[in-house]
Structure 1
Amino acid sequence: MLQSTAKWRILAQDDERAAKLASSLSISMLVARLLVQRGIHTVEAANVFLQKETPAFYDPYLLKGMKEVVERICKARDQGEKVLVFGDYDADGVSATALLVTALKMAGARCDYYIPNRFTEGYGPNKPALIEAKSSGYQLVVTVDTGISAVEEAACASEIGLDFIITDHHEVPPKLPDAYAIVNPKQPGCPYPFKELAGAGVAFKVAQALLGDDALELLDYAVIGTVADLVPLVDENRFLVKKGLRALEASHRPGIQALKTLCGARQKEVDADVIGFGIGPRLNAAGRLDSAEPAVALLLATDKAQAKTLAEEIEQYNQMRQSVVDEMTKEAIMLVEAMQAEEVQRVIIVAKEGWNPGVVGIVASRLVEKFYRPTIVLSLDKEKGLAKGSARSIAGFDIFSALSKNRDLLPHFGGHPMAAGLTMALADVTRLQARLDEYAQEVLTETDFTPTMEIDLVAKVSDVTLEVTRELQQLAPFGVGNRKPLMLLTHVSLGEMRQIGSELNHLKCQFVDGDTSLDAVAFRKGHLYEEMTPQATLSVVGTAEINEWNGHVKPQFLIKDVAVSHWQLFDWRSIQAKQLNTRLAALSDAPVLPVAFQSTTLERLHLTVDVIHHQGEQQSLNGTYIVFLDLPDSRDDFMQFFRRHEGVPHRIYVVFSEEEEAFFRTNPNREQFKWYYAFLQKRGTFAVGELAKKLEAHRGWSAETVAFMTTVFEELGFITVERGVVRFVSDPIKKSLEDSPTFRKKQEQTWLEQMFVYASYEQLKTWFDQVIEPARVKEGAK
């Protein structure tokens, strides 16, 4: 058995509606089910979603405040005023900055940009920067991806005579800044039909209002911020990303070309993953470790040589970021495990002085992955008495709402239901921990702390064809709100399985269904190699992908989770004794019961684990991993073990180590016994020691063979042995060899070895199945 790492929830399947779509659109039932499941019930809606009928962007002037923004920018342009674009240091912020700067220049305005330093200025507009802008001759500041919480900063701008426009997409606080104008689809009274634009998406709408159709030239910028900021890829975002990816693919901007080269994406079609796992993290890296200036400069670069230099600088930042994140994550995990050894927290808050505040969000995400609890990671500045960090959450816990209930402790915070950034007094961290734990106690149950995988489709291996996989790709771009469809494959047999990667930390296998096979890969799941037998029947959750390699194109299944619902037999009969301690120590995810039938086994194998004797205290076998270290004296001992300890184990590991294998010890056949009996009858009396040497020379028997047969005949009453002298008994009572305890023991040892030591895996599995089946039936009837 193998437990899945997440709860699997199969979403409802409406086959009646799906069949109509499949017929009308000439698509597979799998894809039709998926469309219906995502709320697309009509042919018309499906055509729009699949973009067989091209939708249009919403009118940018539907955004509240847009008219005032455009009029003020045009006034600045017409009067030759200097405009400052005030951005943010993440991938959404820098791409939005590059977009609006380019748009303003296309409109003929004089403009520049400013990105605050995460470490010296913090998030969002700040008074010193605005005062400096005013003194440098700027009459207008336009924010992108920031500013919706800048109440004091807006007041400062008004006081110094600086017009302050906010374009943002973050959640709106109770009190809005008193700015010249605000464009944010989430602000009260905004009639815009779509509320989930990214910062770059809002900047793109400003460009549309300002430039009309010429703004389409800026889609390569807009798509970067939209995908990188993990906003829902539905409605207008979906249309923007769909068109934006093609614009990104064709972009001639030197900076974007350099970024694509870094990501290895220049020679292939660009998809959302190229941004999400390649371009986005690299643009983020500069602002996480230092100033985000190189990231904006790279996007705006007009010279290939300059772009190449900046791209190399960005790549160095990215490599440094990866190293810092790995080290901080290890430290954070150790701190969490130390805290949870005392008391398991519902909300994790972990903090340390010296942690880089630029990567705390990534570390928080890693901790959520490992512990699956709402998590806040804080960098402490004891000199200033401040804690600065990021929060990441789990389904069912709105972290923005939870933090909003603690505004008295949080002078600066902002974000979304699943992520937030915050700055607070170091002295208040413990109070925040207590309050969030109490709130989590109210809104979360124990089941909420196990991640849930929502499964879109249930299929067989033979269903995952290249044609169907290509149809599924038509639902891209995938992301938040339109995630890659998760598919559950049932009754899966393994064709082959091996660990891959320099550290053997990935798994590659092949699924088989009759004559059909499907390649599969599980990244960072190389450990599954030791947890699934080749004979296991699997249930597998993952995504269908297209694998192109060396001119060959075929479907491939990317494994996300695996389960085995039946007990599994693992064959350790060839493992050397010195490897056993290591192997046993690795079985730490379930109760392990190493079983010894012989009293000398523990010492003989030099084991350092606790071993139970087969006649030890009665206990349940349910959910356990049983390790049979040696052989019993009889098959009845085996049967008694399963009768004494009730239940069905998840796994059985067989070692069956012996001090000396009976196969290699004497085991004379009945013809040899017959000849020896006739020989004894003829001789009548003789000395055993002398006779053994003669028989060994004459018959090729060992002294042990002679001694064994002699003992059997003595037990049967056919001879007497006294002081090494054998005397034949005339007219003994007729008995069979099986009447001798020594003979029966030898035969039992031989049977045990043939059954358990030398039997094939299939024979062994069949035997254990027959033994375990009554316990399984009994357990299932409860």
Structure 2
Amino acid sequence: MIYTPPMKPAWIHHAPNPDRIRDLCLHMGCSPLLAGLLVSRGVETPDAANAWLHPCFAQLRSPDALYGMDAAVDRVVAAIHKNETIMIFGDYDVDGVTATLIVKEFLEHTGTPVIPLIPHRVEDGYSIKPHHITRNAMDAGVSLIITVDCGIGSNAAVDAANAAGIDMIITDHHEAGDTLPNAIAIIDPKQPDCNSGLRNLAGAGVAFYLIIAVRARLRTEGFWRTRKEPNLKSFCDLVALGTIADIVPLTGENRILAWAGLEVMRTRPRPGILSLMAASKVTPASIDSEAVSFRMAPRLNAPGRIERADVSLALLSAASVAEAAPIADELTRINTLRQQMERETTRSIIDHINANPELMEAPCLVMADDSWHPGILGISASRLVNRYHKPVILIAVKNAACQGSGRSIPGVDLVACLSACSDHLTGFGGHAMAAGVRLDARDLPAFNQRFRSAVDAQTAGMTAAVSELSIDAVITFDRITEASIREISRMAPFGEANPEPVFQSDHIHVIHAAPLGTGGHWRLMLEQTVSGRSYKIEAVWFNGPQQFPARVVFEKIAYHMRINDWNGRQRVRLSILAAVS
């Protein structure tokens, strides 16, 4: 293999079953366009389509389906009745912070003393460690620790807690190892004995299911007769933030929880989220999964990447906008710094690859440097995967210790590859597509070689990796109307496993192009002739070409179609993803 510049994606077209489309149109009264989008996502029957288009809490599976739930509820309820001090140990990303606050706020409703603790990414590393037991929990008189979004691999910490007489409940959603921690209860839909069908829950979702079950048990015992019972829908804004930010599939329970949470953010946003929206230039009326993913979540994630996630927890916990607004501004400052660090790191890596093209001969990229900050390596790895379409592990070296992040491509399971290298690692964890690693610097060469072999083994027989642009439908401009866009929006919230539909139109004239700042961003006026009639539609193209020749004609364009709301005026606008001239 020789080095080539970042490849252009292959345009792949969906071909949904026409009989299924006709059946949905007949029974649902929807357009063939919407029916085709549903069928392409595996929603093929009228009952399934009705559930998809009308999500509600009644569609959620029972918390009792989660293995370990009964034992966890028994212990939490006992702690509430005895007024024990409970520590909530979270993670430093959005999912971990929101999961921490979900359990914390619920327990505070019961009057139980609660201590939240989120580790420092660099100083503590991922998940709970024995020193958190000896230095934090024991000194605070904690008798029960509940982990959220972490803990499934924290065997040593659980052993330390048991030795100190402190019970631990693990709630997590990451892959379990061969030996589970000796905790009093483990709630993780990915553990071997769990057949709940809830594998795709985020950490915030697992935490939410725990408080649903605890509230129900307390209701049975008559606990709420003497105090106000919390409305759990008010927690859904936090669940939606964690779920969307963690890029779990927005199908099934996750779709319902995200839908409910976005509705809470639109109608009754808590002060911290309202201030975060303002800092992100998002209005409650316009909030959607894209705004959460690309504007709000990066700000919430930034402190946990390069400083402390306590700042994000403080924002979401704020009791008033006056308290929250300056914290939101601080998150913006931290995120701007994070962006600068990430751009510099990614650029330096690309320059290094361009100067050393032999690196592209390997099935993956494993790189290490002592100038990198470990908190931004996951983002850089994602950008490199998108650019080169191969698994990437980036490792920050500090003295003799190394900490890194990896991202993968479909068909290569990172956790499985890292398991094959476990004798060269001091720790690792994550998902098939994203993972973190720790190792000693002296083991870097051996790890690099073993990881490459593991990726080679998984990719043996695979066709050459190419990036793909998935096209849902080829349509003409006459079919793009506010009504058709509003109908398609019923499929939201969009995200992993339910991407925003991508459409293709052919033979498009650019009759006007104006730059939007710098960096290849453009405002366009496009024209297509359909049956002898001209149709013009506005468009924007971010990260497009650096220059536009006059009166360019595109053979085809790929885009999202949306309704732009500006100063109360709504109009159709396309968001260009790619074009071929």
Asked if TM exceeds 0.5, the reply is yes
Residues 158, 183 of structure 2: 8 Å contact kept:
yes
Residues 4, 562 of structure 1: 8 Å contact kept:
no
Matched, 1:529 2:529: no
**Aligned residue number for residue 232 of structure 1:** 249
Matched, 1:326 2:339: no
What is the rounded CA distance, in whole Å, between the counterparts of 2:180 and 2:43 in structure 1? Answer: 37
Matched, 1:381 2:413: no
Matched, 1:500 2:477: no
Residues 5, 561 of structure 1: 8 Å contact kept:
no
What is the rounded CA distance, in whole Å, between the counterparts of 1:332 and 1:495 in structure 2? Answer: 35
Instruction: Using the TM superposition, give the Cα deviation of residue 354 of structure 1 relative to its aligned residue in structure 2, in angstroms.
Output: 2.6
AA partner of residue 250 (structure 1): T
Instruction: Using the TM superposition, give the Cα deviation of residue 31 of structure 1 relative to its aligned residue in structure 2, in angstroms.
Output: 0.9
Instruction: Using the TM superposition, give the Cα deviation of residue 178 of structure 1 relative to its aligned residue in structure 2, in angstroms.
Output: 0.8
Instruction: Using the TM superposition, give the Cα deviation of residue 233 of structure 1 relative to its aligned residue in structure 2, in angstroms.
Output: 0.3
Matched, 1:459 2:475: yes
Instruction: Using the TM superposition, give the Cα deviation of residue 252 of structure 1 relative to its aligned residue in structure 2, in angstroms.
Output: 4.4
AA partner of residue 258 (structure 2): V
What is the rounded CA distance, in whole Å, between the counterparts of 1:61 and 1:20 in structure 2? Answer: 36
Residues 88, 146 of structure 1: 8 Å contact kept:
yes
Q: 1:54 to 1:471 in 2, by over 3 A?
A: farther
Match for residue 290 of structure 1 among 291, 297, 307? 307
AA partner of residue 477 (structure 2): V
Q: Which has the larger radius of gyration?
A: 1
AA partner of residue 521 (structure 1): V
Matched, 1:102 2:105: yes
Residues 527, 534 of structure 2: 8 Å contact kept:
no
Matched, 1:116 2:119: yes
Instruction: Using the TM superposition, give the Cα deviation of residue 55 of structure 1 relative to its aligned residue in structure 2, in angstroms.
Output: 4.0
AA partner of residue 362 (structure 1): I
Q: 1:189 to 1:198 in 2, by over 3 A?
A: same
Match for residue 420 of structure 1 among 393, 413, 435? 435
Residues 516, 523 of structure 2: 8 Å contact kept:
no
Residues 527, 537 of structure 2: 8 Å contact kept:
yes
Instruction: Using the TM superposition, give the Cα deviation of residue 341 of structure 1 relative to its aligned residue in structure 2, in angstroms.
Output: 4.5
Higher normalized contact order (CA 8 Å, seq sep 6+, divided by chain length): 2
Instruction: Using the TM superposition, give the Cα deviation of residue 118 of structure 1 relative to its aligned residue in structure 2, in angstroms.
Output: 0.9
Q: 1:235 to 1:190 in 2, by over 3 A?
A: same
Q: 1:499 to 1:447 in 2, by over 3 A?
A: farther
- The percentage of counterpart residues that share the same residue type is 32
AA partner of residue 467 (structure 2): P
**Aligned residue number for residue 182 of structure 1:** 186
AA partner of residue 175 (structure 2): E
Q: 1:537 to 1:453 in 2, by over 3 A?
A: closer
Q: What per-residue deviation string (whole Å, max 9, x for no partner) do you get for residues 367-423 of structure 1?
A: 1122222111111012xx121010011122221221121111122111111110111
Matched, 1:430 2:445: yes
AA partner of residue 201 (structure 1): G
Q: Tell me, what secondary structure is at the counterpart of 1:109?
A: coil
Instruction: Using the TM superposition, give the Cα deviation of residue 249 of structure 1 relative to its aligned residue in structure 2, in angstroms.
Output: 1.9
Match for residue 511 of structure 1 among 523, 527, 531? 527
Q: Tell me, what secondary structure is at the counterpart of 1:526?
A: coil
What is the rounded CA distance, in whole Å, between the counterparts of 2:357 and 2:465 in structure 1? Answer: 14
Residues 266, 287 of structure 2: 8 Å contact kept:
yes
Q: 1:142 to 1:537 in 2, by over 3 A?
A: closer
Matched, 1:474 2:490: yes
What is the rounded CA distance, in whole Å, between the counterparts of 1:214 and 1:407 in structure 2? Answer: 45
Residues 56, 256 of structure 2: 8 Å contact kept:
no
What is the rounded CA distance, in whole Å, between the counterparts of 1:534 and 1:455 in structure 2? Answer: 26
Residues 220, 251 of structure 1: 8 Å contact kept:
no
What is the rounded CA distance, in whole Å, between the counterparts of 1:267 and 1:9 in structure 2? Answer: 35
Match for residue 331 of structure 2 among 314, 334, 337? 314
What is the rounded CA distance, in whole Å, between the counterparts of 1:416 and 1:504 in structure 2? Answer: 33
Q: 1:541 to 1:441 in 2, by over 3 A?
A: same
Q: 1:504 to 1:113 in 2, by over 3 A?
A: closer
Residues 388, 423 of structure 1: 8 Å contact kept:
yes
Counterparts of residues 273-422 of structure 1 (less than 5 Å): 273-341=290-358, 344-382=361-399, 385-422=400-437
Instruction: Using the TM superposition, give the Cα deviation of residue 188 of structure 1 relative to its aligned residue in structure 2, in angstroms.
Output: 1.5
What's the TM-score once normalised by structure 1's chain length?
0.69
Q: 1:330 to 1:53 in 2, by over 3 A?
A: closer
Residues 466, 555 of structure 1: 8 Å contact kept:
yes
- Where in structure 1 do 4 or more consecutive aligned residues deviate above 6 Å? none
Q: 49-58 or 9-18: which moved more?
A: 49-58
Residues 521, 542 of structure 2: 8 Å contact kept:
yes
What is the rounded CA distance, in whole Å, between the counterparts of 2:13 and 2:7 in structure 1? Answer: 14
**Aligned residue number for residue 94 of structure 2:** 91
Q: 1:266 to 1:192 in 2, by over 3 A?
A: same
**Aligned residue number for residue 151 of structure 1:** 155
Residues 511, 520 of structure 1: 8 Å contact kept:
no
AA partner of residue 319 (structure 1): T
**Aligned residue number for residue 36 of structure 1:** 39
What is the rounded CA distance, in whole Å, between the counterparts of 2:144 and 2:290 in structure 1? Answer: 37
Match for residue 489 of structure 1 among 480, 499, 505? 505
What is the rounded CA distance, in whole Å, between the counterparts of 1:166 and 1:563 in structure 2? Answer: 51
Instruction: Using the TM superposition, give the Cα deviation of residue 303 of structure 1 relative to its aligned residue in structure 2, in angstroms.
Output: 3.4
Counterparts of residues 225-264 of structure 1 (less than 5 Å): 225-264=242-281
Which consecutive unaligned segments of at least 5 residues does structure 1 have?
565-782
What is the rounded CA distance, in whole Å, between the counterparts of 1:52 and 1:225 in structure 2? Answer: 19
Q: What per-residue deviation string (whole Å, max 9, x for no partner) do you get for residues 40-60 of structure 1?
A: 222221111000777432211
Q: What per-residue deviation string (whole Å, max 9, x for no partner) do you get for residues 670-728 of structure 1?
A: xxxxxxxxxxxxxxxxxxxxxxxxxxxxxxxxxxxxxxxxxxxxxxxxxxxxxxxxxxx
Instruction: Using the TM superposition, give the Cα deviation of residue 116 of structure 1 relative to its aligned residue in structure 2, in angstroms.
Output: 0.8
Q: What per-residue deviation string (whole Å, max 9, x for no partner) do you get for residues 116-146 of structure 1?
A: 1111111100111111211220001000000
Match for residue 554 of structure 1 among 571, 576, 579? 571
What is the rounded CA distance, in whole Å, between the counterparts of 2:475 and 2:85 in structure 1? Answer: 60
What's the TM-score once normalised by structure 2's chain length?
0.92
What is the rounded CA distance, in whole Å, between the counterparts of 1:152 and 1:38 in structure 2? Answer: 42
RMSD: 2.0
Q: What per-residue deviation string (whole Å, max 9, x for no partner) do you get for residues 209-266 of structure 1?
A: 1224732221111111000000000001001111110012223422122112112223
Q: 1:535 to 1:299 in 2, by over 3 A?
A: closer
Match for residue 29 of structure 2 among 19, 26, 29? 26
**Aligned residue number for residue 202 of structure 1:** 206
Q: What per-residue deviation string (whole Å, max 9, x for no partner) do you get for residues 605-633 of structure 1?
A: xxxxxxxxxxxxxxxxxxxxxxxxxxxxx
Q: What per-residue deviation string (whole Å, max 9, x for no partner) do you get for residues 500-541 of structure 1?
A: 1222511333132232222222210033625xx735342112
What is the rounded CA distance, in whole Å, between the counterparts of 1:128 and 1:537 in structure 2? Answer: 61
What is the rounded CA distance, in whole Å, between the counterparts of 2:447 and 2:548 in structure 1? Answer: 43
